[in-house]
């Protein structure tokens, strides 16, 4: 019987430090006749061949106070599994940044990141969510779920701002979604994987043990954080741009009461929103996938415009081919720190890490980085059922 990739991911501790992938020629999404198209230099294909999966609003959520920033119902997209995957579940937590001020969160209420009123009624399931065996051989026939993100705090808050009419109910949304999915068959899961990208990748770390506790010991449960390993890094001005953002999120949503207590007992609450201070305490098997030159972190944490008033990083932050030698050295320092931070975490056999040297952000939910000709690979293998492979 073939071994599933997700098992291999967790069991292997592989660090890939020298691979460079050329993604600067990609335009991630452009609209074409209402159908989204992926564009690369050598490949163009339509999302039309992927399933369009409808939005399910969680009707029981309102009574539990599990609502989006604007008070609307939260939701998810579920594509049922079949055959050998009928009793396996993959739950992906959507990403989409954070809001750190009342003003930002009020604005977010007018988008799909803060209100289900603006969410797409259908979305394509691509990458790790695809139902195509040739493009997603390990999960194509699992029950695959994308939980929509509308709380602005990585599914972690449980407070409100009455004056601004803001609901910070990420934790309640998480619980309501899990309860709804358990009732729809997830409680009988033989294998269950919690994943997430970006802010959802951070949430996958924060909620990993909560996910594991939903199931009996007989269920094989693991977690995958994609592009969720955000570093508490020094930016190009010598400040800490991402720490300032996180401090605003933690304070605004009163997250100190919801963050892991063993971390809060040692560090200040803002530090406990950074994965580097959380991963070693996660008991459920966890796999970290991240680009060592994470494009979002370069643009928004290391070299945001606020930290670069002279604009000396404008070209480099958007196209690494235009970086100067000193800028490359700065980015290399970021990569080295990321590698060092995960070394201890990867020692237990239950955990795993795959850091590649791509300039990318979120690699599992995209066809072009999940299972394409130029996808990140180990020993020239991409996504095969093979003990040597991670992606």
Cβ partners under 8 Å of residue 19, min gap 6: 356, 357, 358, 376, 377
Closest CA to 50 of 75, 79, 25: 79
Cα 111 to Cα 90: distance, rounded to the nearest angstrom: 26
Name the residues annotated as catalytic: 198, 294, 361
| Contact predicate 390/381, CB 8 Å | no
Contacts 24+ apart (CB under 8 A), 325-331: 330/236, 330/302, 331/293, 331/298, 331/302
Q: Is 277 helix (H, G, I), strand (E, B) or coil?
A: helix
Q: Is the dihedral of CA 155, 158, 164, 165 positive or negative?
A: positive
Pairing between β-strand 52-57 and β-strand 75-79 as defined by DSSP bridges: antiparallel
- DSSP notation for 342-376: HHTTTSSTT-EEEEE--S-S--SS-HHHHSSTTS-
Q: What are phi and psi of 97, to 5 degrees?
A: 70, -160
Cα 237 to Cα 280: distance, rounded to the nearest angstrom: 30
Cα 318 to Cα 251: distance, rounded to the nearest angstrom: 31
Q: Is 47 helix (H, G, I), strand (E, B) or coil?
A: helix
Q: What are phi and psi of 337, to 5 degrees?
A: -65, -40
Cα 119 to Cα 40: distance, rounded to the nearest angstrom: 27
Length of the chain measured in residues: 391
- Alpha helix stretches (DSSP H) within the chain: 5-11, 102-108, 170-183, 199-206, 208-212, 241-252, 261-264, 295-297, 314-318, 325-343, 367-370
């Amino acid at each position: 019987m073939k071994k599933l990739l997700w098992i291999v991911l967790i069991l292997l501790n592989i660090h890939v430090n020298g691979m460079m992938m050329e993604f600067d020629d990609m335009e991630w999404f452009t609209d074409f006749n209402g159908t989204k198209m992926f564009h690369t230099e050598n490949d163009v294909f339509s999302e039309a061949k992927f399933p369009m999966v409808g939005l399910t609003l969680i009707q029981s959520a309102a009574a539990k106070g599990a609502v989006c920033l604007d008070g609307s119902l939260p939701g998810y997209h579920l594509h049922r599994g079949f055959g050998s995957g009928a009793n396996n579940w993959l739950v992906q937590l959507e990403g989409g940044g954070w809001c750190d001020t009342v003003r930002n969160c009020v604005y977010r209420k007018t988008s799909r990141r803060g209100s289900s009123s603006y969410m797409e009624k259908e979305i394509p399931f691509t990458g790790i969510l695809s139902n195509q065996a040739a493009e997603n051989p390990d999960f194509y026939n699992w029950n695959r779920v994308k939980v929509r993100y509308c709380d602005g705090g990585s599914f972690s808050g449980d407070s409100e701002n009455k004056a601004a009419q803001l609901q910070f109910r990420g934790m309640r949304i998480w619980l309501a979604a899990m309860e709804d999915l358990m009732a729809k068959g997830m409680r009988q899961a033989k294998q269950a994987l919690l994943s997430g990208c970006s802010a959802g990748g951070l949430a996958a770390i924060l909620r990993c043990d909560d996910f594991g506790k939903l199931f009996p010991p007989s269920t094989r449960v693991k977690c995958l954080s994609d592009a969720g390993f955000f570093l508490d890094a020094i930016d190009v001005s010598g400040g800490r741009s991402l720490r300032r953002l996180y401090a605003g999120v933690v304070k605004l949503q009163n997250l100190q009461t919801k963050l892991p207590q063993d971390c809060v007992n040692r560090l200040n609450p803002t530090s406990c929103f950074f994965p580097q201070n959380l991963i070693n305490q996660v008991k459920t098997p966890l796999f970290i996938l991240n680009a060592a030159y994470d494009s979002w972190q370069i643009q928004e944490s290391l070299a945001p415009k606020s930290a670069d008033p002279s604009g000396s990083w404008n070209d480099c932050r958007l196209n690494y081919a235009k970086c100067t030698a000193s800028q490359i050295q700065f980015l290399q320092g970021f990569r080295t720190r990321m590698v060092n931070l995960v070394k201890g975490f990867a020692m237990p056999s239950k955990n795993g890490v795959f850091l590649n040297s791509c300039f990318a952000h979120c690699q599992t939910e995209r066809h072009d980085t999940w299972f394409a000709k130029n996808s990140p690979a180990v020993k020239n293998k991409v996504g095969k059922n093979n003990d040597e492979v991670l992606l």
